Amino acid sequence: MSRVRLVSPELISKEEESFNRTLRPPTLDEYVGQKKLVEKLSIALEAAGKRGEPLEHVLFYGPPGLGKTTLAYIIANAMGSKITTTSGPALERTGDLMGILTNLGEGDIFFIDEIHRLPANIEEFLYPAMEDFKVDFVVDKGMFAKTINVPLKKFTLVGATTRAGTLSSPLRNRFGLFFHLEFYNDDELRRIVVRSARILGAKLEEGAALEIAGRARGTPRIANRLLRRVRDYAEVKADGGITRAVARDALKLEGVDELGLDDLDRTFLDTIIRIYSGGPVGVEALAATLNEEVDTLVDMVEPFLLQQGFISRTKSGRKANEPAYRHLNQPLPRAAPPKLFE
């Protein structure tokens, strides 16, 4: 069973997904951050509305937890359309996809999360649906097999992926609009936290919003998750009022430090520095020392540490950088003496 981490950008439960749905902004005017994306998408939506046509197929790509699903719902709301949602791994048979496609109305939104994980047969079945709004369905087998051409109503496919590079060229080329989501800055996250607190009816001071935003690793999903934990702590320990001091105490209890690192992050860095003298060290050796799966370290721990410059990946393995030493209050390694050549 994989470790559940408060600072994971992935959804950690179905209950969290339901909770996040109540916090989603319904329009682009209320959407915080991604300024260039919002401007481009707003123009595309307005142009499609003036023509009375469905929006072109849209692909959102970027790290998890940044708002790809939220944007799909905003598109549906802006177009006054129904949205049908699924994920790549959930579509296993062409019959399942056929049922969804034939039930889509004119201008409806079909949202596929983790679209990079679509099976090859499903992906190929989508091509004519996206391009010509029709599908060829084969009935019977062998000499009795025949192909039925089924027309579809014009819909908009919205795909979301954390790995745009793994999409096949034929699928990628059928999208008309491409939008990359970037990490949020602290001020944008502060605004998101303030808005979420208002919806939740929480008494949040500005300093507390900044404290939460600074530890959210540039990710709105993490910011909202931290807000929930701080709110719970405040209701029990501080009569519901969320001050900066209350937020700090709550997040300290959760093990999330001022830069957003949790216990696993710090243990990972500490192991490289103290046990392996700062590295380089192979990830397999680290996994064995920490009693963690290699995939957990590669997918859940290293990306943020790499982004923040705490570690480097070298041919010889992982190496701790100066910011890691400073953050853990460890002495910097001594420079190796210069080699003398004859």
The model's pLDDT over 242-281, given as tens digits with 9 standing for 90+, comes to: 999 999 999 999 999 999 999 999 999 999 999 988 889 9
Based on the fold, state whether residues 134 and 195 are members of the same structural domain.
no
Based on the fold, state whether residues 38 and 175 are members of the same structural domain.
yes
Residue 144 belongs to domain with CATH number: 3.40.50.300
- C-alpha to C-alpha distance for 240 and 175, rounded to whole angstroms: 47
Based on the fold, state whether residues 212 and 288 are members of the same structural domain.
no
Active-site residue, 68 included? yes
Q: Cβ distance 195 to 147 under 8 Å?
A: no
Based on the fold, state whether residues 155 and 170 are members of the same structural domain.
yes
Residue with structure tokens 């003398």?
Answer: 340
Give the number of other CB atoms < 10 A from CB of residue 83.
Answer: 18
Q: Indicate if the pLDDT at residue 97 is higher than 80.
A: yes
Residue of 108, 113, 262, 265 marked active site: 113
The residue type of 310 is F
Q: Classify residue 203: in a domain, yes or no.
A: yes
The CA–CA distances, whole Å, from 4 to 7, 45, 231, 284 equal 9, 38, 20, 21
Domain finish residue from 180, 197, 226: 180
Number of structural domains (the chain) is 3
**For range 55-63, the mean pLDDT:** 93
Based on the fold, state whether residues 237 and 271 are members of the same structural domain.
no
Q: Cβ distance 278 to 288 under 8 Å?
A: no
For the chain, what is the mean pLDDT? 88
Active-site residue, 221 included? yes
pLDDT tens for each residue of 281-297: 998 999 999 998 888 88
Q: Classify residue 4: in a domain, yes or no.
A: no
Residue of 69, 94, 161, 219 marked active site: 69
Active-site residue, 289 included? no
Based on the fold, state whether residues 154 and 170 are members of the same structural domain.
yes
Q: What is the pLDDT of residue 342?
A: 46
Residue of 5, 174, 221, 225 marked active site: 221
Q: How confident is the model at residue 1 (pLDDT cuts 50, 70, 90)?
A: very low
Q: What is the DSSP letter of 298?
A: I
Based on the fold, state whether residues 167 and 68 are members of the same structural domain.
yes
Q: Indicate if the pLDDT at residue 112 is higher than 70.
A: yes
Domain finish residue from 129, 149, 180: 180
Active-site residue, 14 included? no
Range of lowest pLDDT (1-10, 50-59, 174-183, 233-242): 1-10
Residue 322 belongs to domain with CATH number: 1.10.10.10
How far is Cα of residue 64 from the mean position of the Cα atoms in its chain?
1
Based on the fold, state whether residues 97 and 124 are members of the same structural domain.
yes
The pTM score is 0.86
In terms of pLDDT, which residue wins out, 2 or 124? 124
Q: Cβ distance 184 to 212 under 8 Å?
A: no
Based on the fold, state whether residues 120 and 212 are members of the same structural domain.
no
Based on the fold, state whether residues 42 and 145 are members of the same structural domain.
yes
List Cβ neighbours of 178 (8 Å cut-off, separation of 6 or more): 58, 59, 61
Q: How confident is the model at residue 142 (pLDDT cuts 50, 70, 90)?
A: low
Q: Classify residue 29: in a domain, yes or no.
A: no
Three-state SS at 63: coil
Active-site residue, 162 included? yes
- C-alpha to C-alpha distance for 129 and 133, rounded to whole angstroms: 4
Based on the fold, state whether residues 176 and 192 are members of the same structural domain.
no
Based on the fold, state whether residues 224 and 166 are members of the same structural domain.
no
Helix H or strand E segment including 225: helix 220-237
Residue of 70, 94, 162, 219 marked active site: 162
Range of lowest pLDDT (5-14, 118-127, 135-144, 249-258): 135-144
Q: Classify residue 26: in a domain, yes or no.
A: no
Q: Indicate if the pLDDT at residue 195 is higher than 60.
A: yes
Domain finish residue from 180, 201, 228: 180
Q: What is the DSSP letter of 60?
A: E
Range of the domain at 229: 186-254
Q: What is the DSSP letter of 334?
A: P
Q: What is the pLDDT of residue 74?
A: 95
Phi and psi torsions of 30, nearest 5°: -90, -10
- C-alpha to C-alpha distance for 287 and 175, rounded to whole angstroms: 39
Q: Classify residue 7: in a domain, yes or no.
A: no
Q: Indicate if the pLDDT at residue 153 is higher than 60.
A: yes
